[in-house]
A = this chain, B = another copy of it.
Amino acid sequence: MFAEAQSDPSLSEDEFEAQEPRLRTALLKAQYRQLERADRSLLIVVAGIDGAGKGAAINLLNEWMDPRHIQTLAFGAPTFDEQERPPFWRYWNELPAKGRIGIVFGSWYAPLLLEASRKKPRPRRMTAYAEAIDRFEAGLAAEGVQIIKLWYHLSAQAQADRTKMLLSSPETAWQVKPADRKVHKKYDRIYRAGQHVIERLNPAHAPWTIIPSADERIRAVRTAQAVLHALQQRSPTPKAQVFSAPALAGRRSPDRLGQLDYHTKIDKDDYESALGLLQGQLARAVRSDAFKKRALILVFEGQDAAGKGGAIRRVTRALDLRQVDIHPISAPTPDELMHPYLWRFWRHMPRHGRIAIFDRSWYGRVLVERVEGFASSAEWRRAYAEINDFERQQTDHGAIVLKFWLAITPEEQLQRFQERERSPFKNFKITPDDWRNREKWNQYASAANDMLARTDTDHAPWHVIGTNDKRYARIHVLKNIVAVLEQTL
């Protein structure tokens, strides 16, 4: 793949001028068509040999296309804020909306390339980086983010010649940064790293193109051609096996909701005392020094009127309001619909020392969106694995993820609905949707059982609680949180 670029090909001025107007016009046309359709975004990953002119190529794309619809996403060393979230957080955060183009510089390849260019790359790290990239790119591609990756390449001789030429005049010498003066010593290692990465991570849905870069005219033309090609064709869908959630023994998921005990009760006095003591334990745990290096993510799901709000309030009363964010999740906004499904949840991931509480969550994909048909079959089937990976990235970075399914019986729900309708200040909580969902009780229960079977992981376990007795439910939730915190911290 590198043979052509190693030979440092070039274009004459005449050849270049014969191609430029046609390319620019075609690029603009393709860009506007993508913008109008707004059915996908395009990420252009820029990497390569130092001194190959990556910055100039990015400037060129901004000049040849309409820069108002392009975001240049250039990442350096992670900021403090970024360090307190999983490594991919910053890339998720900056994803362009459908219709738009993102040019990524200092991408998710940077840590892998750094490792691969060490004298002795550590194989386990290499594998871990590569697997994470694989999942990230496949997940984006499946969600309508087209990805192309450009490797800017020139020979060692051309690199040395270019540095020498730039240094020969004060008008250009500044382009060679102090660190760049030594890059030729590392040329072989970076080349080797590029070869490894391109061989290992070159799926059809996120392919590499090598751009010969010793000559700026051929670099410009090849860059434009690669982007034009991407804009003109639909990229292949990633293979479904990338997204594999735990396999199930039988055809049907175990009926965890059916087997639940809904009738355990707790008496009022015991409740008040236990509540205060547990809230105290929780308050102390999250004020501890050990928690400053962790984060806590609490997910609350369950049938309508199962008591999510009440349970959440009993938790937050133990917490300093400055330490916690509560996210009520409802239908996505137009802006959220223009991004991959998990985008809006990634944005809410807490920094270290903080707590994020989700009143409904990313599980909507495999619950309401599945049952109501808002997500396609491929989308919700894929989501189990995507969600497990998403949660795994949080826990790998120090977060504690706990998920609660609050379950009531249909009879209890009916009683609570009727009670809400009678109260002048509670009837806002009950909508025609709630009654409609209730008619699909079995479909929702079956979706919940499937979800529990596929996403009850060691790193982010589900706690399924029968909540016909609200007091029992609240105590049980707090007990679980406290137990996990005390065991982890």
Interface residues of A (CB under 8 A from B): 21, 24-25, 27-28, 32, 55-56, 58-59, 62-64, 66-68, 72, 74-76, 79-81, 105-106, 169-175, 177, 272-273, 275-277, 279-281, 283-284, 287, 309, 313, 316-318, 320-324, 326, 328, 330, 335, 351, 424-425, 428
Contacts and interface: CB of A to CB of B under 8 A. Distances in A.
A63 B313 contact: yes
A277 B324 CA distance: 51
A424 B21 contact: yes
B74 A322 contact: yes
A45 to B, nearest CB: 14
A230 B320 CA distance: 27
Contacts of A66: 428
Contact of A68 (B174, B318, B328): B328
A326 B425 contact: no
Contact of A169 (B24, B72, B276, B428): B276
A57 to B, nearest CB: 11
Nearest to A333: B335
13 contacts: A24-B424, A24-B425, A28-B425, A58-B321, A59-B317, A63-B313, A67-B309, A75-B322, A81-B81, A105-B322, A174-B318, A175-B283, A177-B287
Nearest to A324: B74
Contacts of A58: 321
Nearest to A277: B171
B425 A277 contact: no
Contacts of A316: 59
Most buried by B among A105, A283, A321: A321
B322 A76 contact: yes
